[in-house]
Amino acid sequence: DAGVTQSPTHLIKTRGQQVTLRCSPKSGHDTVSWYQQALGQGPQFIFQYYEEEERQRGNFPDRFSGHQYPNYSSELNVNALLLGDSALYLCASRGKGYGYTFGSGTRLTVV
Protein backbone atom coordinates (compact mmCIF):
# COMPACT_ATOMS: atom_id res chain seq x y z
CA ASP A 1 0.00 0.00 0.00
CA ALA A 2 1.65 3.21 -1.18
CA GLY A 3 1.86 5.97 1.35
CA VAL A 4 1.85 9.66 0.52
CA THR A 5 3.76 10.38 -2.68
CA GLN A 6 5.26 13.77 -3.44
CA SER A 7 6.94 15.05 -6.58
CA PRO A 8 9.46 16.27 -7.42
CA THR A 9 11.88 15.38 -4.60
CA HIS A 10 14.17 18.31 -5.28
CA LEU A 11 13.71 21.55 -7.17
CA ILE A 12 15.82 24.64 -7.85
CA LYS A 13 14.08 27.82 -8.96
CA THR A 14 15.07 31.44 -9.52
CA ARG A 15 13.60 34.34 -7.58
CA GLY A 16 10.36 35.58 -9.15
CA GLN A 17 9.53 32.26 -10.79
CA GLN A 18 6.53 30.09 -10.09
CA VAL A 19 6.55 26.50 -8.85
CA THR A 20 4.03 23.66 -8.58
CA LEU A 21 4.46 20.79 -6.15
CA ARG A 22 2.36 17.65 -6.32
CA CYS A 23 1.01 15.18 -3.78
CA SER A 24 -0.87 11.89 -4.01
CA PRO A 25 -2.47 10.94 -0.69
CA LYS A 26 -2.40 7.55 0.91
CA SER A 27 -5.06 5.18 -0.42
CA GLY A 28 -8.32 5.76 1.43
CA HIS A 29 -7.39 9.25 2.60
CA ASP A 30 -9.45 12.25 1.48
CA THR A 31 -7.95 15.19 3.38
CA VAL A 32 -4.65 16.73 2.29
CA SER A 33 -2.59 19.32 4.15
CA TRP A 34 0.58 21.14 3.17
CA TYR A 35 3.37 22.23 5.51
CA GLN A 36 6.52 24.30 5.08
CA GLN A 37 9.59 23.31 7.10
CA ALA A 38 12.54 25.67 7.24
CA LEU A 39 15.91 24.28 8.27
CA GLY A 40 16.03 23.53 11.99
CA GLN A 41 12.35 24.37 12.52
CA GLY A 42 9.16 22.43 12.98
CA PRO A 43 6.73 22.24 10.05
CA GLN A 44 4.38 25.22 9.65
CA PHE A 45 0.81 24.69 8.41
CA ILE A 46 0.08 26.25 5.00
CA PHE A 47 -3.44 25.01 4.18
CA GLN A 48 -5.73 22.01 4.11
CA TYR A 49 -8.01 20.66 1.40
CA TYR A 50 -11.08 18.50 1.80
CA GLU A 51 -13.75 17.78 -0.82
CA GLU A 52 -11.79 19.91 -3.30
CA GLU A 53 -12.07 23.04 -1.17
CA GLU A 54 -9.56 24.90 0.96
CA ARG A 55 -10.89 24.39 4.49
CA GLN A 56 -8.27 26.06 6.62
CA ARG A 57 -5.30 28.28 5.99
CA GLY A 58 -2.23 29.17 7.99
CA ASN A 59 -0.38 32.47 8.08
CA PHE A 60 0.92 32.40 4.51
CA PRO A 61 0.50 35.07 1.80
CA ASP A 62 -1.75 34.69 -1.22
CA ARG A 63 1.31 33.76 -3.29
CA PHE A 64 0.70 30.30 -1.87
CA SER A 65 -2.30 28.60 -3.45
CA GLY A 66 -3.47 25.07 -3.91
CA HIS A 67 -5.89 22.70 -5.49
CA GLN A 68 -7.40 19.32 -4.79
CA TYR A 69 -8.66 17.06 -7.55
CA PRO A 70 -11.58 14.59 -7.48
CA ASN A 71 -9.11 11.72 -6.94
CA TYR A 72 -7.94 13.57 -3.77
CA SER A 73 -4.49 14.40 -5.16
CA SER A 74 -3.33 17.94 -4.53
CA GLU A 75 -1.04 20.66 -5.81
CA LEU A 76 0.73 23.50 -4.04
CA ASN A 77 1.55 26.53 -6.18
CA VAL A 78 3.87 29.31 -5.14
CA ASN A 79 4.12 32.47 -7.26
CA ALA A 80 6.79 35.18 -7.29
CA LEU A 81 9.27 33.04 -5.40
CA LEU A 82 11.42 34.66 -2.72
CA LEU A 83 14.69 33.41 -1.28
CA GLY A 84 12.82 32.86 2.00
CA ASP A 85 10.56 30.31 0.32
CA SER A 86 13.46 27.86 0.29
CA ALA A 87 12.35 24.99 2.51
CA LEU A 88 11.17 21.41 2.68
CA TYR A 89 7.51 21.23 1.65
CA LEU A 90 5.60 18.38 3.22
CA CYS A 91 2.26 16.94 2.21
CA ALA A 92 0.16 15.01 4.73
CA SER A 93 -3.03 13.06 4.24
CA ARG A 94 -5.70 11.80 6.61
CA GLY A 95 -8.68 9.55 6.29
CA LYS A 96 -11.52 8.78 8.66
CA GLY A 97 -9.02 7.89 11.35
CA TYR A 98 -7.26 10.45 13.47
CA GLY A 99 -3.60 10.48 12.49
CA TYR A 100 -1.79 12.09 9.60
CA THR A 101 0.57 10.32 7.21
CA PHE A 102 3.34 12.43 5.74
CA GLY A 103 5.19 12.19 2.45
CA SER A 104 8.95 12.44 2.03
CA GLY A 105 8.73 16.07 1.01
CA THR A 106 9.94 18.31 -1.80
CA ARG A 107 13.14 20.25 -1.15
CA LEU A 108 12.74 23.67 -2.84
CA THR A 109 15.77 25.90 -3.25
CA VAL A 110 15.28 29.44 -4.52
CA VAL A 111 18.39 31.14 -5.89
Partner 1 sequence: KQEVTQIPAALSVPEGENLVLNCSFTDSAIYNLQWFRQDPGKGLTSLLLIQSSQREQTSGRLNASLDKSSGRSTLYIAASQPGDSATYLCAVSNYGGATNKLIFGTGTLLAVQP
Interface with partner 1 by CB under 8 A: which residues? 4, 6, 31, 33, 35, 40-45, 48, 50-51, 55-56, 58, 88, 90, 92, 98-105, 107
**Do the beta carbons of residue 25 and residue 32 sit within 8 Å?**
yes
Strand partners of residue 50:
31, 53
CB of residue 16 vs partner 1: minimum separation in angstroms?
26
Looking only at the bridges linking them, the beta strands covering 101-102 and 87-94 are antiparallel
CB of residue 40 vs partner 1: minimum separation in angstroms?
7
CB of residue 58 vs partner 1: minimum separation in angstroms?
7
Q: What's at 75, amino acid-wise? A: E
